[in-house]
Amino acid sequence: MSSDAKPAPAAGGRAGMKKELPEHFKAYKHVWVFVELEGNEVHPVSWELLGAGRQLADKLGVDLAAVVMAAPGIPARRAVAESFAYGADLAYLVEDPVLQHYRNDPYTKVFTHLVNTYKPEILLLGATTLGRDLAGSVATTLLTGLTADSTELAVDADGSLAATRPTFGGSLLCTIYTLNFRPQMATVRPRVMPMPERQEGRIGRVIEVKADLVEEDIVTKVLSFIPDRNSKTANLTYADIVVAGGLGLQSAENYQHVKNLAKVLCAEYGGSRPLVQKGWIEADRQIGQTGKTIRPKLYIAAGISGAIQHRVGVEGADLIVAINTDKNAQIFDFAHLGVVGDATRILPALTDAFRARFAVNRLAS
């Protein structure tokens, strides 16, 4: 590549680069998924990644491994067993009291040690606050490439990982390769990949690895952890039904219609980004590229235009229902079901309809 290459944007320019994998990287095989364990629970994104990783491993004819790091104990063992149920062939298990809570330093050390020892070809992590914190450090330590927030993973004819992600504020997608370095790393946001089928009784090989860490050597200390369930933060990401509003609702008062419908449907409520900026809803209820990605069975969008940044966060929903006064609104391009009409009137009517229906059913049962 000539050094005076034009200041190309992320797009184009490098397409001609050839693959010349250095000899010492050829030993890198297998697909790994980092299993994210915090507060004794595995983040479901890890299972979603095992699902995606399984397909890559099958295509490449290699093993799929889960990487579990935790304090010694039942949650770690359970995570390993569950990893097999979700498709892993083997698991690297590192148990050490120092790994009780996530901290960048010990986790990066252990992870890079594992990579250097066992040499995976592909490394997948969830694009959670934990996964992004860890992935950035690990990739920099290993001096390899990392594709953030991938929405699609595939292997090419020559076996390279092709990671696709949105770019330029979501207006375009780009496919990124890490040609001459290993491992090839990518993060994926929760709910972007479907949850794989859980296979009861599936087992695999466990490789236990020592961490060799001493608490005294670690400068950063966790003073406390305040779980969200003590506060009223939203759990939009994994909700089965989500009702959302946009600027079309015209006022914070009218947003109440969204909450009312959500309540009757036992749903979570959320909205488009401008509502956060206006202060109608909290930041953690924003849906879309810079908010949450959701994959509910039912998504109802009221007064939302359907800009691409919103669309990328909701496309995985089974049924997208849009209510919008403008029959040409973009949202009707990707919604499954739509009503051209005034959301401030239809939402209350819909709330009443559902309430009546379930009241009747309750009497009947």
Ligand X SMILES: Cc1cc2nc3c(=O)[nH]c(=O)nc-3n(C[C@H](O)[C@H](O)[C@H](O)COP(=O)(O)OP(=O)(O)OC[C@H]3O[C@@H](n4cnc5c(N)ncnc54)[C@H](O)[C@@H]3O)c2cc1C
Which 218-257 residues touch another protein, going by CB under 8 A?
219-229, 240-241
Which of the choices another protein, ligand X, none does residue 68 contact, using the CB cut-off of 5 to 8 A by kind?
none
**303 near ligand X (CB under 6 A):** yes
Helices 74-85 and 45-60 sit at what angle, rounded to 10 degrees? 50
Among 326, 336, 337, 359, binds ligand X (CB under 6 A): 326
**305 near ligand X (CB under 6 A):** yes
- The string of DSSP codes covering 277-316 is HHTSS-GGGBBSTTSB----SEEEEES----HHHHHHHTT
Which of the choices another protein, ligand X, none does residue 305 contact, using the CB cut-off of 5 to 8 A by kind?
ligand X
**352 near another protein (CB under 8 A):** yes
Which of the choices ligand X, another protein, none does residue 225 contact, using the CB cut-off of 5 to 8 A by kind?
another protein
Among 169, 194, 210, 235, binds ligand X (CB under 6 A): 169
CB atoms under 10 Å from CB of 187, counted, come to: 26
Among 116, 175, 199, 325, binds another protein (CB under 8 A): 175
Among 324, 332, 335, 350, binds ligand X (CB under 6 A): 324
Which of the choices ligand X, another protein, none does residue 246 contact, using the CB cut-off of 5 to 8 A by kind?
ligand X
Residue 359 DSSP code: H
Among 50, 52, 323, 335, binds ligand X (CB under 6 A): 323
Which of the choices ligand X, another protein, none does residue 177 contact, using the CB cut-off of 5 to 8 A by kind?
another protein
Q: Between 54 and 257, whose beta carbon lies closer to ligand X?
A: 257
Lookup: tokens for 332: 């009707």
Count the alpha carbons within 13 Å of 315 in the hemisphere toward its beta carbon: 13
Among 150, 237, 344, 351, binds ligand X (CB under 6 A): 344
Least distance between another protein and beta carbon 83 (Å): 18
- Measured in degrees and rounded to the nearest 5, phi and psi for residue 290 equal -100, 10
CB atoms under 10 Å from CB of 163, counted, come to: 27
**108 near another protein (CB under 8 A):** yes
Q: Between 201 and 221, whose beta carbon lies closer to another protein?
A: 221
On whether the CB atoms of residues 185 and 139 are closer than 8 A, the answer is: yes
Which pairs with CB-CB distance under 8 Å and at least 24 residues apart come from 330-339?
A: 330/305, 330/306, 331/301, 331/304, 331/305, 331/306, 332/306, 333/306, 334/306, 335/301, 335/306
- Measured in degrees and rounded to the nearest 5, phi and psi for residue 176 equal -115, 140
Residue 197 DSSP code: P
**79 near another protein (CB under 8 A):** no
* Residues found near ligand X in the complex (CB under 6 A): 169, 246-248, 272-274, 286-291, 303-305, 307, 309-310, 313, 323-326, 329, 342-344
